[in-house]
A and B are shown apart, each in its own frame.
Chain A
């Protein structure tokens, strides 16, 4: 019979595993034991990680100085357009009771500055920043062109609002001797940003490469004059600029500003003692936020955030709690089952 069908086109479906839904398979059936031990192990893991994280975060030294209020006078002064060019400095002394050992990083921290607004994030021209087309300002609204129509380089709201406070840290050896703490302004960006994503336009001479463009509205200096000390740190590959251009995810953020150059007095880090911050160039501050400066040391897991450690500890504790309660339920059920079977 079968033979006949094979000859005369049997319509019997193929006997393959897929077609007959008979694929060899493993049935995932977690037993109570497996689940309970899984819970237990997860609890151990979470508690372990949490404790490690908390311990390592404990070794971090951090100091944060909010200078919004303290430099308010300066800010007010600068807000008046007439006083635009007037130098204004404000200095904030502070005392470091314990030395900050190891690498010390200086951050500026902004509160309530929305770098993550949709239109803000979009308002940049990557093709300009990568140096291919300096005049491409298509995505940069509302800061595309200067009022006279020349394209802005670097264009866009992000570039325009660059953080351009100058912060100088000085170490007060004694009352009279103030040593300027040596700071490095390099190595504060991602390598890919510095060497791939941001490139200056091709021409040898930077200022001529920027010809035909104008500086952003709020910038005192054009891009090619950002760093007067290091000519290689100008234009789009300026480290401060690159750091600013990597927009923050949340309205409160800190960005790396300088790192300690460990020479002279500072080979071991920042020794204990009294310091002072000097703030220069203090322009527009009308975003109703706050500013502070942060000095911090680091561990393997990065900054001082306790969140992950705490979260792990809490999770581990809750998991254990769940483990014990499930265990209790399980044992009682088992008892009842035994009773039932009898």
Chain B
């Protein structure tokens, strides 16, 4: 207990009860103010902010004490201080605040205070407005979760884990949908405390950790101890269902610590600035010694400057202030605006709108757009992502008899089509009209009253966690957590075993028209390890029955020996199902005698109360009763591919994006789907399967280059071997993955490959993977909203991914790169002029420009053109970027903005600043105006330099803009015109006479703009700055791939559905599948022991042709392949090579 942190409940206040009319239900949450006695582990317990819900205005009038729960972070009073505090926590803002303070020190101030204050204010206020809008949006009823009847909004930022105390349900049951478990509904139990406004008790619980399915603690209340486990916890992000209200206690809360980075670049630039300042300070020191000392008659040193060294120290900081305009604060706000704009484009894209569901694509994070253009690895979930996740009860095997196939008169198997006659369910009034089934023999069997068939469907209608809703008599709607379950229960319903309603203790089933009530004695719940669930019910005939359904691999070991032969037959059927790409479950039952069950339930409750290692004890108890099961049969559920998946994957492959499928499904199913959607190709001849049950086998599998590794695939040294093998492969499928393992695989690639990864998934079981990857994409599909809520981008169809990556991602990346290189360039050119001027101004930190120009340069004069560039520019249009996925490749290697590009910007900036400084200098040095008056005064000089600078950077951006829209014209030329307007305003008589000490450049515009020297020097600067750029650009420019030469393979003729056409290739596969099957069974005991650690099986298909260049390791891999399964060569290798080559010329050209 040492590591337990103690929370003491001071008081527990009922905070509010809100009515949500639009949801038609009440959800009330009571939250205790808890403060932590432990220190750093529970950082924000004391504040206890819970994003619970939204107190409507109407409710505010009621006398609920609502002090510490807020949906929104701010109110009218605290907005300013809280928001400012938050903003200054960001490194960049704090840095500029520090600069501002530097500037306020009179001894080192080299710029007027407003040069920093004004941009900072603008940036802060823009961010503040954005935050305020974000905050307001939270108050509005979002269209987020339309189909969940009851929920707590636990918004992504500070949310909380809540301990349930009490709920509206009679048996203190609350159904919650948890995020991290396999997308199931979990009944949570509350303590039945009668109501308390003041409640004192103590909760002892474990420290916050990342084990989401485990929680231990004790609640002490009125001297009694109550055990807390994870059943009683609503984790953050959970959804409450089937519950009118509940009260809870906030246990853990704290801000998400998704990091804001980007501090590295700032640091390196600061260092650079620092070194420049150092040079200048040394220069100043020397100058003061040689010149400044003698100039003291005219400008005495300040009293505190005793020597030139002191002066140089001060000058260092003065230059630090000046040179910091290299990375101005507006960079950050511009980046945010660009990202925001580019995410809006995603939201607005009509081509990513999915009409049947009325869902547009959604960019939920605005910070990742440019990473979308750099994705190298895509990790995809299978179910619901590649497939539609519309589950259809398709086939079944009951008592060794296969149902579900349709045969014609000759006994030939018939493909099911629209025309195939459906089974008539009219005998059953409660049948779901949408359900269709084609095999009449099954209905006949039901009608005949086949005992086994009845039992089979009865078990399907009893063993689940579905929640029925019957708003209108006879119209049942099932709220199923996973669609498999829904499909099974719906199937049972149609065949005449209608699950009608449930309480926490009973289940009402209408069996062939006859209502029966089963007493629910226990639910032995599903979890990742058990991979099965059971219910124990007492039938109306007073028999105690256990119904179990679960993964065949697990269940087949728990069967009674008497059903061995049935098992063999069923396993054969299961293999057939798997080949068809169906999802399978085994169903079994056991009849228990009363005494045995009584004994067991005592043990069960004992185990439930055990404090230590409760879970393993409970699962031991479960295992005790889940044995000697009688096999009933197996179910097969069809899982349809989504539209355009194969095409999308082909396109992704062309762009050298590697698609890995991480699925919890069986290997056979997964391989089938992989073939169907082109992750595996027909011509890939070496599919080899890495599979191991414990560390030794995994080690053997991976020992391909003489390396000995000693630990499990995902946990130890084998990681690297695994990764190396997998990365050489053309397509990778990882099967039987738990959510945690999915995340581990993603982490693995992320850690060692240093490339941008994208995870796409739809279900709650993908959440961890989505969070682990750089970019998480959620498919708003069938399996609830969990994945979507945790994702960065969300849409409803997998094939939108190519648009997201190749159009939006590519553009975003290109725009961001163009933005960054231009932005750095313009600021280098702008700032470095000061550096050169230092050599002529005694290193005295004198700026070249007017302070107002410095203030406005980034804020006004150059902000709009660069924003226009980075919001509207398109290097190639969307058709081209979709047709030539090769164009995506530069992004993966980050070719458009990296250190090299940065150095190029720097060099370009240095060159420009040299031109911008020395051309005007030469023009006015020792020169006079046409009327003999002077020209070489400081103010004219700064005017000439700043005007040439603006002309140069505007021309530069005009050259970089490839896509000239009206807006770009307005922004670019408008800004330049606006500069002259502002110039005349700032240098006007009125303003300068009103504030003579602030605006000192009176008349400079009028007297300088009419000078031939000025325009000649501007023209010369522009020519000198632009010509090399144009010339180099022209020489380096890669001509676009000529369309004639590129043979584009239109993938229209691809199969759209399952892998039936892969018959030849499948022979080997199926046999290997069978041998694997036995392996599974024989070694599954080992598997349960190591279950937590082992990546159970990993399948790899490798196209040796594509990777024959990867030398030794590839050949050793070939060896492995040969050992595993004789090579099946389907097509001559030439086809493949041809394909490679046909792709090559265009890439080569584009590189040229």
Contacts of B294 in A (CB 8 A): 286-288
Contacts of A116 in B (CB 8 A): 840-842, 844, 846, 938
- Report the nearest A residue to B1003, measured CB to CB: A192
Contacts of B846 in A (CB 8 A): 116-118, 121
Least Cβ–Cβ distance between B255 and chain A, in angstroms: 31
Q: Does A247 contact B (CB under 8 A)?
A: yes
Least Cβ–Cβ distance between B509 and chain A, in angstroms: 37
Contacts of B962 in A (CB 8 A): 27-29
Contacts of B840 in A (CB 8 A): 116, 249-251
Least Cβ–Cβ distance between B631 and chain A, in angstroms: 47
- Report the nearest B residue to A125, measured CB to CB: B997
Least Cβ–Cβ distance between A183 and chain B, in angstroms: 12
- Report the nearest A residue to B921, measured CB to CB: A250
Say whether B1027 contacts A286, CB under 8 Å.
no
Contacts of B936 in A (CB 8 A): 248-250, 253-254
Q: Does A173 contact B (CB under 8 A)?
A: no
Contacts of B1031 in A (CB 8 A): 35, 39, 322, 326
Say whether B1000 contacts A126, CB under 8 Å.
yes
Interface residues of A in 198-253 (CB under 8 A from B): 243, 246-253
Least Cβ–Cβ distance between B312 and chain A, in angstroms: 14
Q: Does B475 contact A (CB under 8 A)?
A: no
Q: Does B923 contact A (CB under 8 A)?
A: yes
Partner of A139, one of B291, B968, B997: B997
Say whether B299 contacts A142, CB under 8 Å.
yes
Say whether A196 contacts B1023, CB under 8 Å.
no
Q: Does A89 contact B (CB under 8 A)?
A: no
A157, B1035: Cα distance in complex, Å: 54
B-binding segment of A147-155, A262-270, A297-305: A297-305
Known: A11-B359, A308-B1020. A103 touches B932 (CB 8 A): yes
Q: Does A275 contact B (CB under 8 A)?
A: no
Say whether B932 contacts A105, CB under 8 Å.
yes
Contacts of A78 in B (CB 8 A): none
Say whether A302 contacts B1013, CB under 8 Å.
yes
Contacts of A191 in B (CB 8 A): 1003, 1007
Q: Does A26 contact B (CB under 8 A)?
A: yes
- Report the nearest A residue to B969, measured CB to CB: A26
Q: Mark B807-822, 1 if CB is under 8 A from A, else 0.
A: 0000100000000000
Q: Does A188 contact B (CB under 8 A)?
A: yes
Q: Does B935 contact A (CB under 8 A)?
A: yes
Q: Does B225 contact A (CB under 8 A)?
A: no
A-binding segment of B244-252, B341-349, B537-545, B634-642: B341-349
Contacts of B1012 in A (CB 8 A): 300-302
Contacts of A287 in B (CB 8 A): 294-295, 297-298
Least Cβ–Cβ distance between A204 and chain B, in angstroms: 21
Partner of B964, one of A28, A127, A315: A28
Q: Does A284 contact B (CB under 8 A)?
A: yes
Say whether A21 contacts B878, CB under 8 Å.
yes
A319, B927: Cα distance in complex, Å: 26
Contacts of B299 in A (CB 8 A): 114, 117, 119-120, 123, 142, 157, 161
Number of interface residues of A (CB under 8 A): 95
Q: Does A145 contact B (CB under 8 A)?
A: no
A254, B927: Cα distance in complex, Å: 8
Known: A35-B1034, A286-B294. A192 touches B928 (CB 8 A): no
* 10 pairs of A and B residues whose beta carbons are closest in the complex: A192-B1003, A126-B996, A249-B941, A307-B922, A305-B927, A19-B348, A303-B928, A161-B298, A118-B846, A23-B965
Q: Does A112 contact B (CB under 8 A)?
A: yes
Residue among B295, B840, B924, B992 with max Cβ neighbours from chain A (10 Å) = B295
Contacts of B345 in A (CB 8 A): 19, 21
A322, B841: Cα distance in complex, Å: 36
- Report the nearest A residue to B920, measured CB to CB: A249
Say whether B965 contacts A24, CB under 8 Å.
yes
A residues with a Cβ closer than 8 A to B are 1, 5, 10-15, 19-21, 23-30, 32, 35, 38-39, 42, 46, 49, 53, 103, 105, 107, 112, 114-121, 123, 125-127, 129-130, 132, 138-139, 142, 157, 160-161, 188-193, 196-197, 243, 246-256, 259, 284, 286-288, 296, 298-305, 307-308, 311-312, 315, 319, 322, 326, 329
Say whether A118 contacts B964, CB under 8 Å.
no
Say whether A130 contacts B348, CB under 8 Å.
no
Please, could you name 23 A-B residue pairs with CB atoms under 8 Å apart, sorted by A? A15-B350, A19-B345, A26-B963, A53-B1016, A114-B841, A119-B299, A120-B298, A139-B997, A142-B300, A190-B933, A191-B1003, A191-B1007, A192-B1006, A196-B993, A197-B1002, A247-B937, A249-B938, A249-B942, A286-B294, A287-B294, A301-B1013, A302-B1013, A305-B924
Q: Does B858 contact A (CB under 8 A)?
A: no
Residue among B930, B938, B939, B1011 with max Cβ neighbours from chain A (10 Å) = B938
A1, B941: Cα distance in complex, Å: 67
Q: Does B919 contact A (CB under 8 A)?
A: yes
Contacts of A251 in B (CB 8 A): 840-842
Q: Does B925 contact A (CB under 8 A)?
A: yes
Contacts of B1002 in A (CB 8 A): 192-193, 196-197
Say whether A25 contacts B348, CB under 8 Å.
no
Say whether B966 contacts A23, CB under 8 Å.
yes
Known: A115-B938, A197-B1003, A302-B1013. A322 touches B964 (CB 8 A): no
Say whether B360 contacts A303, CB under 8 Å.
no
Interface residues of B in 891-948 (CB under 8 A from A): 919, 921-942
Contacts of B353 in A (CB 8 A): 11-13
Contacts of B1007 in A (CB 8 A): 190-192
A326, B934: Cα distance in complex, Å: 42
Say whether B350 contacts A132, CB under 8 Å.
no
Least Cβ–Cβ distance between A140 and chain B, in angstroms: 11
A328, B212: Cα distance in complex, Å: 69
Q: Does B444 contact A (CB under 8 A)?
A: no
Least Cβ–Cβ distance between A31 and chain B, in angstroms: 10
Contacts of B570 in A (CB 8 A): none
Say whether B928 contacts A119, CB under 8 Å.
no
Say whether A126 contacts B997, CB under 8 Å.
yes
Say whether B348 contacts A20, CB under 8 Å.
yes
Contacts of A12 in B (CB 8 A): 350, 353, 355, 358, 360
Contacts of B1020 in A (CB 8 A): 46, 308, 311-312, 315
Contacts of A253 in B (CB 8 A): 934, 936
Contacts of A312 in B (CB 8 A): 1016, 1020
Partner of A301, one of B844, B919, B922, B930: B930
Say whether A38 contacts B1000, CB under 8 Å.
no
Contacts of A28 in B (CB 8 A): 959, 961-964
Q: Does B768 contact A (CB under 8 A)?
A: no
Partner of B291, one of A115, A197, A288, A329: A288
Q: Mark B839-858, 1 if CB is under 8 A from A, else 0.
A: 01110111000000000000
Least Cβ–Cβ distance between B476 and chain A, in angstroms: 25
A19, B346: Cα distance in complex, Å: 9
Q: Does B387 contact A (CB under 8 A)?
A: no
Q: Does B874 contact A (CB under 8 A)?
A: yes
Say whether B937 contacts A246, CB under 8 Å.
yes
Say whether B1013 contacts A308, CB under 8 Å.
yes
Known: A114-B841, A250-B936. A25 touches B926 (CB 8 A): no
A78, B591: Cα distance in complex, Å: 125
Say whether B298 contacts A157, CB under 8 Å.
yes
A118, B277: Cα distance in complex, Å: 16
Partner of B924, one of A24, A249, A288, A298: A249
Contacts of A254 in B (CB 8 A): 926, 928, 934, 936
A129, B992: Cα distance in complex, Å: 12
Least Cβ–Cβ distance between B1039 and chain A, in angstroms: 10
Contacts of B1013 in A (CB 8 A): 301-302, 308
Besides A27-B964, A160-B298, A287-B294, 19 more A-B contacts (Cβ < 8 Å) are: A11-B353, A19-B344, A23-B967, A26-B964, A29-B962, A46-B1023, A121-B938, A196-B989, A248-B936, A254-B934, A298-B930, A299-B930, A301-B930, A304-B927, A305-B922, A307-B922, A311-B922, A312-B1016, A326-B1035
Residue among B345, B350, B933 with max Cβ neighbours from chain A (10 Å) = B933
